Amino acid sequence: RLRKWQERIRTKDAGERNLQFALSEIDRMASALGVPRSVREVASVIYRQALSEDLIRGRSIEGVATSCLYAGCRQEGIPRSLEEVTEVSRVGKKEIGRTYRYIAKELSLEMKPADPKEYVPRFCSDLEVSEEVKMKAIEIIDESAEQGLLSGKSPTGFAAAAIYAASLLCNEKKTQKEVAEVAQVTEVTIRNRYQEQIEAMGLN
Amino acid sequence: MTDPKDTINIENVVASTGIGQELDLQSVAMDLEGADYDPEQFPGLVYRTQNPKSAALIFRSGKIVCTGAKSTDDVHESLRIVFDKLRELQIQVNEDPEIVVQNIVTSADLGRNLNLNAIAIGLGLENIEYEPEQFPGLVYRLDEPEVVALLFGSGKLVITGGKKPEDAEHAVDKIVSRLEDLGLLE
DNA sequence: AGTTTACTTTCCAAAGC
DNA sequence: GCTTTAAAAAGTAAACT
């Protein structure tokens, strides 16, 4: 009897240590990404839900923690791309993406895809462009999305191309390389999205 | 005008069968020309047929998986070739082993562009998976027929998981009528 | 700036780790 | 869960020209 009791305490302690570790990892990654406390709280709530629904069995704590943070950022309307969360995580992009999709499905998070516009403020401030460029980029995103160009495209690449185009239109040119770096996409992607968007705006 | 059903094309058929005899894959690998066998990596021996093109995975148990065929007829033709090759190696092969189609992959075209964001909301976020950052296709699971459809912005589709060619036709019909009901086609 | 190749997703069977 | 096989869709990345 005593053995069973000790075992229960052991597993309970282990479980709490794991939860502590997960929450501290969420905190560490959130700080590294520079997201507000509200995001950490949302991510922690999602993690606890995943824990109570027993979704962590067979998965790494780090992977689940990272996925919850990724989901939390999106729910709060200040998304970080998978590329960005992978940079501050100890697990790979593929595992984070898979774990995120699994958690989102099981917890019925019903997440809408990230809106490219949500990336504009941060990317623009990283690039140190004016408010005018920011507004123009949003205008380009709205117009080209309305014309159906967004389907299937990555939100970061779409936002990056719009910012690049806006910087040209506002005579505050940023190079494709500069925009590609802050958005974590390649110059080829910016060129491809840029061509379509310019055409959609009737600016070619 | 064109019925999307008429654009359906079978891209891949996966089927399983068995010769009813255990095999020594090591010796089959020696005698069968073009056979790839690396038991450390995978327990099956890979044998490719040219006409029709397919890849057969042959196992120690005598069970065989055939992939890559473009029709169910091609599956039978490919496996007939595999059976004959094994017989040439003095291996007993049942008269005509049962061949079971396990999966059919199909492509189709709705003929118009799709707004995947609107479709995701229209079909219900709980029923679909759409993560454009990870993959450009929207994943839609149907209950009847039990298949999975990938919808793309171009209006092209991939339907997989079906066991008979009609599954893809029924799936396309359902998808078209659902999108029409939602006013997301045309 | 644009090309090629490779990888992402979905499905399924097989045997074994 | 993974390993291997095949195939399509379209986007993106890495490596080149």
A21-45 average pLDDT score: 97
CA distances to A41, A199, B132 from A69, in Å: 9, 36, 18
Q: How far is A82 from chain B (nearest CA, A)?
A: 8
Phi-psi region of B181 (alpha: psi -120 to 50; beta: other; left: phi over 0): alpha
- In window 69-98 of B, residues with CB < 7 A from nucleic chain D are none
Average pLDDT, chain A: 95
CA to C1' distance (Å), from B124 to D9: 22
Beta carbons of A97 and B131 less than 8 Å apart: yes
B141-157 average pLDDT score: 98
Beta carbons of A151 and B113 less than 8 Å apart: yes
What tens digit of pLDDT does each residue of B124-137 get?
A: 999 999 999 999 99
Average pLDDT, chain B: 97
Beta carbons of A97 and B134 less than 8 Å apart: yes
B148: nt with nearest C1' to CA: C10
Check pLDDT > 90 for residue A163: yes
Task: Give the pLDDT confidence score for residue B73 in this predicted structure.
Answer: 98
Task: Give the pLDDT confidence score for residue B99 in this predicted structure.
Answer: 98
Q: Does B127 touch chain A (CB under 8 A)?
A: no
Beta carbons of B133 and A110 less than 8 Å apart: no
Task: Give the pLDDT confidence score for residue A15 in this predicted structure.
Answer: 81
Task: Give the pLDDT confidence score for residue A9 in this predicted structure.
Answer: 73
* CATH class label, B13-101: alpha beta
Q: Are A159 and A117 in contact (CB under 8 A)?
A: yes
Cis, bond preceding B52 (omega within 30 deg of 0):
yes
Task: Give the pLDDT confidence score for residue A38 in this predicted structure.
Answer: 98
Task: Give the pLDDT confidence score for residue A141 in this predicted structure.
Answer: 98
Check pLDDT > 80 for residue A1: no
Q: Is the CB of B148 under 7 A from strand D?
A: no
CB burial class (10 A; 0-12, 13-18, 19+) of residue B154? middle
Q: How many helices (H) and strands (E) does chain A have?
A: 10, 0
Spacing of C-alpha B88 from chain mean position? 29
Write the single-letter amino acid at B152.
F
**What is residue B63's DSSP assignment?**
E
Check pLDDT > 70 for residue A12: no
Of the partner residues B114, B115, B133, the one whose CB lies closest to the CB of residue A114? B133
Q: Does B129 touch chain A (CB under 8 A)?
A: yes
Task: Give the pLDDT confidence score for residue A204 in this predicted structure.
Answer: 82
Report the distance separating Cα A68 and Cα A25, nearest Å.
Answer: 11
B33-61 average pLDDT score: 97
Q: Could you tell me which residues of chain A have a Cβ less than 8 Å from any Cβ in chain B?
A: 81-82, 97, 101, 105, 108, 110-114, 148, 150-156
Size of interface A-B (CB pairs under 8 A): 52
- In window 105-124 of B, residues with CB < 7 A from nucleic chain D are 105, 107
Check pLDDT > 80 for residue A5: no
CA to C1' distance (Å), from A187 to D17: 16
In chain B, residues under CATH classification 3.30.310.10 are 13-101, 109-180
Task: Give the pLDDT confidence score for residue B186 in this predicted structure.
Answer: 75
Cα-based angle B1, B7, B13 (whole degrees, multiple of 5): 165
- B109-180, what's its fold? TATA-Binding Protein (3.30.310)
What tens digit of pLDDT does each residue of A132-141 get?
A: 999 999 999 9
Beta carbons of A148 and B136 less than 8 Å apart: no
B55: nt with nearest C1' to CA: D5
Check pLDDT > 90 for residue A172: yes
What tens digit of pLDDT does each residue of A51-106 get?
A: 999 999 889 999 999 999 999 999 999 999 999 999 999 999 999 999 999 999 99
A197-202 average pLDDT score: 97
- pLDDT above 70 as % of chain A: 97
Task: Give the pLDDT confidence score for residue B1 in this predicted structure.
Answer: 66
Task: Give the pLDDT confidence score for residue A14 in this predicted structure.
Answer: 73
B62: nt with nearest C1' to CA: C14
Report the distance separating Cα B78 and Cα B58, nearest Å.
Answer: 13
- Using alpha carbons, select from A153, A182, A184, A181 the residue that is nearest to residue A194: A153
B15: nt with nearest C1' to CA: C13
| pLDDT band for position A114 (cuts 50, 70, 90) | very high
B75-95 average pLDDT score: 97
- Using alpha carbons, select from A112, A115, A47 the residue that is nearest to residue A78: A115
Q: What is the DSSP string of B7-31?
A: G-EEEEEEEEEE-SS---HHHHHHH
CA atoms within 13 Å, Cβ hemisphere of B154: 9
Check pLDDT > 90 for residue A28: yes
